[in-house]
A and B are shown apart, each in its own frame.
Chain A
Amino acid sequence: MTDTADTTEGPVRFMPQLIGLDYTIRTNPVAAAFGAALAEGHITGHRCPSCQRVYSPPKGYCPICCVATGADDLVEVADRGLITSWTVLTPIQYAGQKEREDYALASILLDGADGTIGQQRLVEVPLDEIRMGLRVEAVWAPPGEREGDDRGYGLGTAVSGWRPTGEPDAPPSAYQDHTL
Chain B
Amino acid sequence: MRDVAIVSFATSGSLPAVEDTETQMLFPVISEAIERSGIPRADIGFTCSGSADYLAGTPFAFVGNLEAVGAWPPISESHVDMDGAWALYEAWVRLQHGDVDVALAFSSGISSRSDLREVLCLQNDPYYVMPLWADHGSLAGLQARAAADAGLIPEADASVGTPPASDGAAAVILVAGDRAREVCERPAWIRGIEHRTDPHYLGVRDLTEVPSAEAAGLGDAPVEVAQLSAAHPHEEVLLRRALGLGDEVEVHTGADPLMVSGLVHIGEAFRQINENGRRRTVGHASSGACLQQNLVCVLEGDA
Known: A22-B114, A64-B70, A66-B70. A28 touches B126 (CB 8 A): no
Is B24 within 8 A of A28, CB to CB? Answer: yes
Give 1 or 0 for each of B104-134: 1 = CB within 8 Å of chain A CB. Answer: 0000000011110011001000110011000
Question: What is the CB-to-nearest-CB distance from A115 to chain B, in angstroms, rounded to a whole number?
Answer: 11
Question: What is the CB-to-nearest-CB distance from A24 to chain B, in angstroms, rounded to a whole number?
Answer: 5
Give 1 or 0 for each of A47-74: 1 = CB within 8 Å of chain B CB. Answer: 0000000000001110111101000000
Chain B residue with minimal CB distance to A68? B27
Is A23 within 8 A of B114, CB to CB? Answer: yes
User: B residues within 8 A CB of A19?
Assistant: 122
Question: What is the CB-to-nearest-CB distance from A13 to chain B, in angstroms, rounded to a whole number?
Answer: 10
Chain B residue with minimal CB distance to A65? B70
A76 and B18 CA atoms in complex are apart in Å by: 27
A70 and B21 CA atoms in complex are apart in Å by: 15
Chain A residue with minimal CB distance to B131? A17
Asked if B19 lies at the interface with its beta carbon under 8 angstroms from chain A, I say: yes
- Size of the chain A interface, CB-CB below 8 angstroms: 23
Asked if A25 lies at the interface with its beta carbon under 8 angstroms from chain B, I say: yes
User: A residues within 8 A CB of B71?
Assistant: 63
Asked if A163 lies at the interface with its beta carbon under 8 angstroms from chain B, I say: no
Asked if A98 lies at the interface with its beta carbon under 8 angstroms from chain B, I say: no
- Size of the chain B interface, CB-CB below 8 angstroms: 30
Asked if A5 lies at the interface with its beta carbon under 8 angstroms from chain B, I say: no
A59 and B68 CA atoms in complex are apart in Å by: 10
Is B21 within 8 A of A151, CB to CB? Answer: yes
Question: What is the CB-to-nearest-CB distance from B44 to chain A, in angstroms, rounded to a whole number?
Answer: 11
Contact of B41 among A28, A61, A66 (CB under 8 A): A66
Is A24 within 8 A of B24, CB to CB? Answer: no
User: B residues within 8 A CB of A64?
Assistant: 70, 72
Asked if A15 lies at the interface with its beta carbon under 8 angstroms from chain B, I say: yes
Is A25 within 8 A of B113, CB to CB? Answer: yes
Is A26 within 8 A of B19, CB to CB? Answer: yes
Is B118 within 8 A of A21, CB to CB? Answer: yes
A23 and B112 CA atoms in complex are apart in Å by: 9
Give 1 or 0 for each of A10-40: 1 = CB within 8 Å of chain B CB. Answer: 0000010101011111111111000000000
Is B19 within 8 A of A24, CB to CB? Answer: no
User: A residues within 8 A CB of B112?
Assistant: 24, 26
Is A26 within 8 A of B72, CB to CB? Answer: no
User: B residues within 8 A CB of A68?
Assistant: 27-28
A21 and B31 CA atoms in complex are apart in Å by: 33
Is B68 within 8 A of A61, CB to CB? Answer: yes
Contact of A63 among B70, B113, B119, B122 (CB under 8 A): B70
A151 and B54 CA atoms in complex are apart in Å by: 17
A106 and B41 CA atoms in complex are apart in Å by: 34
User: A residues within 8 A CB of B72?
Assistant: 63-64
Contact of A27 among B19, B67, B69, B119 (CB under 8 A): B19
User: A residues within 8 A CB of B119?
Assistant: 21
User: A residues within 8 A CB of B249?
Assistant: none
Question: What is the CB-to-nearest-CB distance from B158 to chain A, in angstroms, rounded to a whole number?
Answer: 30
Question: What is the CB-to-nearest-CB distance from A10 to chain B, in angstroms, rounded to a whole number?
Answer: 18
Question: What is the CB-to-nearest-CB distance from A83 to chain B, in angstroms, rounded to a whole number?
Answer: 23
User: B residues within 8 A CB of A31?
Assistant: 21
A59 and B20 CA atoms in complex are apart in Å by: 10
User: A residues within 8 A CB of B41?
Assistant: 66
Question: What is the CB-to-nearest-CB distance from A172 to chain B, in angstroms, rounded to a whole number?
Answer: 22
Question: What is the CB-to-nearest-CB distance from B32 to chain A, in angstroms, rounded to a whole number?
Answer: 12
Asked if B57 lies at the interface with its beta carbon under 8 angstroms from chain A, I say: yes
Question: What is the CB-to-nearest-CB distance from B269 to chain A, in angstroms, rounded to a whole number?
Answer: 27
A3 and B234 CA atoms in complex are apart in Å by: 41
Contact of B20 among A24, A28, A63, A66 (CB under 8 A): A28
Seen from chain A, the residues whose Cβ lies within 8 Å of a Cβ on chain B are 15, 17, 19, 21-31, 59-61, 63-66, 68, 151
> Given A15-B131, A30-B24, A68-B27, 13 more contacts at CB 8 Å?
A15-B127, A17-B126, A21-B114, A22-B118, A24-B113, A26-B113, A28-B19, A61-B23, A61-B27, A63-B68, A63-B70, A63-B72, A66-B31
Closest 8 CB pairs of A and B: A23-B57, A63-B67, A66-B70, A26-B19, A28-B20, A23-B113, A28-B19, A24-B113
8 CB < 8 A contacts A-B: A23-B113, A24-B112, A26-B17, A28-B20, A28-B24, A60-B20, A63-B71, A65-B70
Seen from chain B, the residues whose Cβ lies within 8 Å of a Cβ on chain A are 17-21, 23-24, 27-28, 31, 41, 54, 57, 67-72, 112-115, 118-119, 122, 126-127, 130-131
